Structure 1
């Protein structure tokens, strides 16, 4: 006899066949199906959970008891207002561990602590500058982490995984190979530094790919599996998502459009007469966008020059992967009212099949939230993998 078990988790859907003689494997898959159903749909009674997981109620009852003994599931207190004896409800113990997400950019370090379901518990911001020496930036990372742990009531051993998003070219091993936006950052041993501080699994990823993942899981791209994320501000980056997974490429350099000489954002948006002399470089683009809102023709022409370059890069990617959606993210997404319409017009002219265009709504926490999403999914793969041995008691993976 053969059984079919379907396990669905965020970013993962697996269908497995089990022969009747492999009862231990069947029991493990039933447990994983129940866990996935609880995490996807929230607290449930045994009857509700049996329907979600497509298992018999008697089977679910045994499975839930096993999961409670292992520490993955807990029975909830009865809710008031129900007539008679309320049905017992169960939930996944997302508080059993913590996930740390980091966004290490040119001007800020953002730290986020979340539970095992990715619910953000606390956020801390530490200002930095592009010119800071490596040691000072790493010290700022440490301060942001410490403050976030304290603010969330989390101790370092409670962190099961830390994911850091960094600007620059990050290779497949998590090494910062090249960073043009941050001085003294290329080659930094970021993963080693965080592993020594936290003593947990550490992943380092490109910030644009993490931002794209956040849009797919929590943002405006939740309804599509194929999209391009434009991470644009004073520098430009991009990420391509295919079948719900950010594309890394052969060496991790996919999406690094900002290294192309065409993307001289400062040159494209400078020399607008309405921008006052002496305006800080970080504020020039915002001043140009504001001038467009006031009806300034020179500012509008500067924006159109920038949009045409952005559209050329976007079209090259769109003609290659045929996405359903392009998301405008990064600092310039705050000026979507200025950029979206001209960008949409250029894409409709250049693309064989013009994708829909939307602006990100996740704000400056986008990369850190994507880091949390990546951490949660990595833990799920490590801890709840149907091809690995029996489900163990609650503990961080080592």
Structure 2
């Protein structure tokens, strides 16, 4: 990826502003005419046409088949369109147990995807970096995308990250293993690179496309093996001085919680403990399931069928989750808490039970509790969306595929 030249003159600055305005219009529309653009942006026809010509030369746009402007009268109007294939962005969810990569065009359409499992007990930084490379390469290949056409990549990691995408060692050097120098590694390829905490990317997904779109302040609570919160307050993502905002290690000190273990972990653990205790009714689904088949979906499905053992687990989870939500609301005064991650599709009844408990713990109004619509894709959606937004925001700093300088 090459960088576009900059102009320092006042005329060059005005030209750049006008070019950006036309490109922004193109990004928000499918096919359009110069007339439509000039009316929306407030530029003259000649300016719009010249900016479109420049964007075509740069590789951002193309002129498409012309059509008559009105009932066959006059010269056919020129039609313009953003080139969705002018470049691609890569989103990566480099989680503790898997690496998932997606490739999207400039319209946000996914064209490639690959997922690979990873053993968190035996991997190391070098293995994790190599596996991420392989996963990205396979995702690009599945979409028929040349790596040279990648403009930006965003990587989500289960670790605290600073503004440059680096992570401190953390406890037992866990963070450094989860983030083995992704930022420097991908920047060496010439890709615009962002490395961000996974919960922050989930919050970005919810703010851009999900349950956070109409909420001024909300938290996206990743809730699988461990809790992690991406926090948006007054419309801005809260990161903290060192990127540690939303880290849930403080739950070690909260009465009735005691650890940052998430819903997926606790439902599985408590469901298996209930099975092994021998106190379940004979007809309990949890009692008849093999221990390794008891996970969060199994527990919630059994509770929905009226299994008293499973209901007891869900009630215990509701009390635990209510305490976690009360801590978040007490510190941040959010409108909404979005439960995200792989457990999101199955937590509807849990959230209803949690809301009842939460009302007795916080000053009204209690935050609304909702499940994310993205399921296990919350982080990857946030990564892809963020990478695309960064290309769009700084588009003229990139030279797209087929543009001048390629």
Please give the TM-score of this superposition, normalised by the length of structure 1: 0.82
Tell me, yes or no, if the aligned pair for 1:213 and 1:374 is still in contact at 8 Å: yes
125 and 252 in structure 1: CA distance in 2 versus 1, 3 angstrom threshold: same
**CA distance in 2: counterparts of 1:181 and 1:293, whole angstroms:** 41
Return 84-93 or 36-45, whichever deviates more.
84-93
The structure with the largest alpha-carbon Rg is 2
187 and 272 in structure 1: CA distance in 2 versus 1, 3 angstrom threshold: same
62 and 327 in structure 1: CA distance in 2 versus 1, 3 angstrom threshold: same
Give the structure 2 partner of residue 289 of structure 1. 300
**CA distance in 1: counterparts of 2:398 and 2:352, whole angstroms:** 53
**CA distance in 2: counterparts of 1:105 and 1:180, whole angstroms:** 17
Give the structure 2 partner of residue 272 of structure 1. 274
1:369 to 361, 366, 381: 381
Query: Cα distance, 1:31 vs. partner?
Result: 1.4
SS of structure 2 residue aligned to 1:331: coil
2:99 to 86, 99, 109: 109
170 and 24 in structure 1: CA distance in 2 versus 1, 3 angstrom threshold: closer
356 and 51 in structure 1: CA distance in 2 versus 1, 3 angstrom threshold: farther
Does 1 or 2 have the higher relative contact order (CA < 8 Å, sep 6+)?
2
Displaced runs of 4+ in structure 1, greater than 6 A?
179-184
Query: Cα distance, 1:108 vs. partner?
Result: 1.7
2:117 to 127, 145, 148: 127
Give the structure 2 partner of residue 60 of structure 1. 48
**CA distance in 2: counterparts of 1:195 and 1:393, whole angstroms:** 16
**CA distance in 2: counterparts of 1:213 and 1:227, whole angstroms:** 11
Give the structure 2 partner of residue 311 of structure 1. 322
**CA distance in 1: counterparts of 2:101 and 2:171, whole angstroms:** 20
Tell me, yes or no, if the aligned pair for 2:67 and 2:77 is still in contact at 8 Å: no
1:140 to 118, 123, 131: 131
> CA offsets per residue over residues 243-293 of structure 1, 9 Å max, x none?
44422111111111156322345567512235358623x943333222211
> CA offsets per residue over residues 193-215 of structure 1, 9 Å max, x none?
4345x442322111111111112
Please give the TM-score of this superposition, normalised by the length of structure 2: 0.80
Give the structure 1 partner of residue 181 of structure 2. 189
2:211 to 220, 228, 235: 220
Q: Which runs of 5 or more residues in structure 2 are unaligned?
A: 1-8, 253-257, 276-283
> CA offsets per residue over residues 42-83 of structure 1, 9 Å max, x none?
321111112222333343223222322332221122479x95
Query: Cα distance, 1:22 vs. partner?
Result: 4.3
Matches within 5 A, 1:37-52: 37-52=25-40
2:13 to 20, 25, 35: 25
Query: Cα distance, 1:113 vs. partner?
Result: 0.8
